[in-house]
Amino acid sequence: MGRMKVRIQIQQDEDGVYVVEVPSLPGCVSQGQTRSEAVRNAEEAVAAYLESLRLRGEPIPPPIDEEILDVRI
């Protein structure tokens, strides 16, 4: 399997733990004590989620194709 881009949302909870959610993969959530740990854990969670979809013959959501604009305000 190749690579694909997925959108993640990262928030720090009231205990200081970083929580990562993957909107395109319902229920795919991970966390870590640091932002980088949370992202690494999310990469593993996404890979496992996609493998589970593949094994069950379910469709894999399309990868994202987006740009980020840096707008002066």
The pLDDT value given to residue 14: 96
The pLDDT value given to residue 1: 57
The pLDDT value given to residue 5: 86
The pLDDT value given to residue 3: 83
Is 20 within 8 Å of 36 (Cβ atoms)?
no
The pLDDT value given to residue 65: 80
**Residue 44 — left, alpha, or beta (φ > 0 → left; ψ -120 to 50 → alpha)?**
alpha
Spell out a b/e string for 46-69, using b for 16 or more CB atoms within 10 Å of the CB, else e: beebbeeeeeeeeeeeeeeeeeee
pLDDT < 50 positions in the chain: none
The pLDDT value given to residue 67: 75
